């Protein structure tokens, strides 16, 4: 049977006290709405509508092609939100199922949604709802059952009396309606409650009251929990991250401490990868087999090749080749490419720079807009002076070149293949292949200087006190 899906994502999430609409908050690197849309898409709906409201443009920006948005311009409740979507759907076959799900339940799964759909379709019930038994049901609508255990209605927290509040079975906010049941029910909704809003939950009682059948489908709390607070958001992040890591561990990734390892949903890891604690892998990061990552690495949209060793490092849109070494204490900024066996060592920052095979940048260097040839060695303290205060210029270091410590490469400039620069040189003109480029004065030694300096200080001491370092 065919079905359409409505995702409710209009809410502000007031209790989160965040400038973002609720559905935009990230869980394991993906907006909550994204998790909902993925699960919904896997059920194969003929159409999917997302109801947007608070800061609608931010929510709409998250919608993949083919998913439609529907604006709820005033926040008048979930029933009102659903009504907006239904009015866009046009005339539906009465037996079509309309799946209505919250946009703020990032642990939902395609399996649970498919189960809800099948339950309605197989039973012919007018409405199937997910319910969950919660240790602490505060904030949720309670499921009131008849003496024969069939569903009577759902009562929102704010409208519930103490006896109803004691019920622990709640409406999880997931519905599979027969289309005619939904349309008829929405028409019968009234804003007769504390908030003057239209509650979708009232459709349970309305459906029952008009002789319809409501089928409860029980689900696990962990799967259907909605996010209303920062604490719940943090817990959802922990749960999703853990689930992601479990899958990677099954696939052969070794994780020293899964509770301290942060891998977002789009990341790809090969079997044999080892992740140490304090690793954050975000975006479209890919790590190859046998790579050892961490402790304390942040990588976004980065590629780490097989057998590479990356620790105490930050990688943004950078590519680390097979067998490379990065860190400890390195920052690879966008456009960095390390070819096989290259090294970006300690206190090294690279930007828009390609480091050739087996070339080394071992310490205390900044290279920007540079191309380093295979096998070159870049001495400690080397800096590309790539910015002249106005624009950026390129530096080229040839294959097998030996750049002396603390060489300033004033771009645009080129060091030839196999060329050498003297330590401490400011290189403003190209150095030919195999040549030495040198900028230096003669060294002078002044004997007895230290004694004279001490005497000078001693004289100065009469005037002012010394300070600590």
Catalytic annotation, residues: 363
CB 319 within 8 A of CB 339: no
Rounded to an integer, what distance in angstroms lies between the CA atom of residue 425 and that of residue 2?
74
Q: Should residue 309 be labelled a site residue for a second copy when binding is judged by CB under 8 A?
A: no
Residue 92 DSSP label: -
Q: Which is nearer to a second copy, 93 or 259 (CB)?
A: 259
We find the least distance from the C-beta atom of residue 68 to a second copy, in angstroms, to be 30
Q: Should residue 418 be labelled a site residue for a second copy when binding is judged by CB under 8 A?
A: yes
Contacts of 55 (CB under 8 A, 6+ apart): 12, 20, 21, 24
Q: Should residue 124 be labelled a site residue for a second copy when binding is judged by CB under 8 A?
A: no
Q: Should residue 459 be labelled a site residue for a second copy when binding is judged by CB under 8 A?
A: no
Binding test (CB under 8 A) with a second copy, winner from 66, 162, 211, 448: 448
What SS3 state is found at 469? coil
We find the least distance from the C-beta atom of residue 9 to a second copy, in angstroms, to be 19
**Alpha-carbon distance values, 438 to 249, 398, 422 (Å):** 54, 17, 5
Q: Is the dihedral of CA 257, 258, 259, 264 positive or negative?
A: positive
What SS3 state is found at 137? coil
Site for a second copy in 223-252 (CB under 8 A): 229-231, 233-234, 237-238, 246, 249-252
Query: Encoding tokens for residue 7?
Result: 């995702």
Q: Which is nearer to a second copy, 55 or 260 (CB)?
A: 260
Binding test (CB under 8 A) with a second copy, winner from 30, 55, 260, 266: 260
Site for a second copy in 33-62 (CB under 8 A): none
We find the least distance from the C-beta atom of residue 381 to a second copy, in angstroms, to be 5
CB 70 within 8 A of CB 88: yes
Rounded to an integer, what distance in angstroms lies between the CA atom of residue 264 and that of residue 280?
8
Stretch that binds a second copy, among 42-50, 129-137, 183-191, 382-390 (CB under 8 A): 382-390
| Count of residues in contact with a second copy, rule CB under 8 A | 107
**Measuring CA to CA, which residue among 241, 308, 297, 243 is closest to residue 270?**
308
Q: Should residue 426 be labelled a site residue for a second copy when binding is judged by CB under 8 A?
A: yes
Q: Should residue 402 be labelled a site residue for a second copy when binding is judged by CB under 8 A?
A: yes
Q: Which is nearer to a second copy, 173 or 437 (CB)?
A: 437
Q: Which is nearer to a second copy, 54 or 360 (CB)?
A: 360
The dihedrals phi and psi of 45, each to the nearest 5 degrees, come to -70, 155
Contacts of 455 (CB under 8 A, 6+ apart): none
Binding test (CB under 8 A) with a second copy, winner from 35, 140, 175, 311: 311
The angle at the Cα of 339, spanning 333 to 341, to the nearest 5 degrees, equals 115
Q: Which is nearer to a second copy, 166 or 254 (CB)?
A: 254
We find the least distance from the C-beta atom of residue 181 to a second copy, in angstroms, to be 39
Site for a second copy in 270-299 (CB under 8 A): 271-272, 276-278, 280, 290, 295-296, 298
Binding test (CB under 8 A) with a second copy, winner from 57, 163, 391, 462: 391
Query: Encoding tokens for residue 291?
Result: 């790579």
Binding test (CB under 8 A) with a second copy, winner from 57, 161, 163, 446: 446
Q: Should residue 163 be labelled a site residue for a second copy when binding is judged by CB under 8 A?
A: no
Binding test (CB under 8 A) with a second copy, winner from 46, 91, 149, 443: 443
**Measuring CA to CA, which residue among 237, 234, 288, 226 is closest to residue 263?**
237
Query: Encoding tokens for residue 273?
Result: 């990868």
Stretch that binds a second copy, among 4-12, 162-170, 174-182, 399-407 (CB under 8 A): 399-407
We find the least distance from the C-beta atom of residue 121 to a second copy, in angstroms, to be 31
Binding test (CB under 8 A) with a second copy, winner from 335, 392, 394, 412: 392
CB 134 within 8 A of CB 220: no
Burial of 422 (0-12, 13-18, 19+ CB in 10 A): middle
Q: Which is nearer to a second copy, 200 or 364 (CB)?
A: 364
Binding test (CB under 8 A) with a second copy, winner from 155, 255, 267, 299: 255
Burial 352-385 (b: 16+ CB within 10 A, else e): bbbbbbbbbbbbbbbbbbbbbbbbbbbbbbbbbb
Q: Should residue 138 be labelled a site residue for a second copy when binding is judged by CB under 8 A?
A: no
Site for a second copy in 334-353 (CB under 8 A): 346-347, 349
Long-range CB pairs of 310-315, under 8 A, 24+ apart, other chains included: 311/276
Q: Which is nearer to a second copy, 115 or 272 (CB)?
A: 272
Strands (E), 150-238: 151-155, 169-178, 214-218
Contacts of 113 (CB under 8 A, 6+ apart): 39, 40, 42, 43, 99, 101, 174
Q: Which is nearer to a second copy, 158 or 456 (CB)?
A: 456
What SS3 state is found at 138? coil
Binding test (CB under 8 A) with a second copy, winner from 96, 110, 157, 329: 329
Site for a second copy in 183-222 (CB under 8 A): none
Query: Encoding tokens for residue 233?
Result: 């958001």
Q: Are strands 343-355 and 360-372 parallel, antiparallel or unpaired?
A: parallel
Stretch that binds a second copy, among 53-61, 76-84, 111-119, 323-331 (CB under 8 A): 323-331
Q: Should residue 427 be labelled a site residue for a second copy when binding is judged by CB under 8 A?
A: yes
Q: Which is nearer to a second copy, 89 or 299 (CB)?
A: 299
């Amino acid at each position: 049977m065919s079905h359409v899906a409505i995702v409710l994502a209009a809410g502000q999430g007031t209790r989160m006290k965040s400038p973002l609409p609720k559905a935009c908050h990230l869980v394991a690197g993906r907006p909550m709405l994204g998790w909902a849309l993925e699960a919904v898409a896997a059920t194969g709906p003929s159409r999917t509508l997302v109801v947007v409201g608070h800061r609608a443009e931010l929510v709409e920006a998250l919608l993949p092609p083919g998913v439609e948005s529907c604006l709820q311009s005033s926040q008048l409740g979930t029933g009102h939100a659903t009504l907006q979507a239904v009015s866009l759907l046009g005339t539906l076959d009465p037996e079509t199922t309309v799946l209505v799900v919250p946009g703020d339940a990032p642990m939902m799964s395609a399996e649970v949604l498919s189960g809800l759909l099948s339950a309605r379709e197989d039973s012919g019930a007018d409405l199937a709802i997910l319910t969950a038994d919660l240790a602490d049901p505060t904030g949720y609508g309670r499921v009131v059952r008849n003496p024969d255990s069939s569903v009577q209605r759902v009562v929102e927290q704010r409208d519930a009396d103490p006896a109803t509040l004691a019920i622990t079975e709640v409406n999880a906010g997931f519905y599979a309606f027969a289309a005619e049941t939904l349309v008829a029910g929405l028409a019968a909704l009234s804003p007769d409650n504390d908030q003057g809003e239209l509650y979708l939950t009232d459709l349970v009682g309305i459906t029952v009251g008009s002789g319809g059948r409501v089928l409860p489908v029980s689900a696990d709390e962990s799967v259907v929990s909605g996010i209303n607070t920062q604490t719940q958001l943090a817990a959802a992040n922990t749960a999703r991250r853990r689930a992601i890591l479990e899958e990677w561990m099954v696939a052969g990734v070794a994780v020293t401490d899964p509770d301290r390892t942060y891998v977002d949903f789009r990341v790809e890891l090969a079997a044999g990868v080892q992740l140490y604690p304090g690793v954050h892998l975000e975006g479209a990061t890919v790590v190859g087999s046998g790579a050892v990552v961490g402790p304390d690495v942040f990588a976004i949209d980065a590629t780490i090749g097989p057998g590479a060793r990356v620790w105490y490092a930050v990688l943004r849109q950078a590519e680390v080749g097979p067998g490379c070494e990065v860190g400890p204490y390195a920052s690879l900024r966008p456009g960095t490419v390390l070819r096989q066996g290259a090294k970006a060592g300690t206190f090294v920052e690279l930007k828009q720079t390609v480091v050739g095979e087996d070339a080394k940048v071992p310490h205390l260097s900044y290279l920007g807009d540079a191309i380093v040839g295979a096998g070159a060695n870049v001495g400690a303290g080397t800096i590309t002076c790539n910015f002249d205060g106005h624009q950026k210029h390129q530096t080229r270091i040839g294959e097998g070149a030996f750049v002396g410590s603390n060489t300033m490469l004033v771009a645009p400039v080129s060091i030839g293949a196999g060329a050498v620069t003297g330590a401490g040189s400011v290189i403003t003109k190209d150095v030919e292949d195999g040549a030495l480029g040198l900028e230096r004065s003669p060294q002078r030694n002044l004997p007895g200087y230290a004694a004279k300096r001490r005497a000078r200080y001693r004289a100065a001491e009469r005037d002012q006190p010394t300070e600590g370092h």
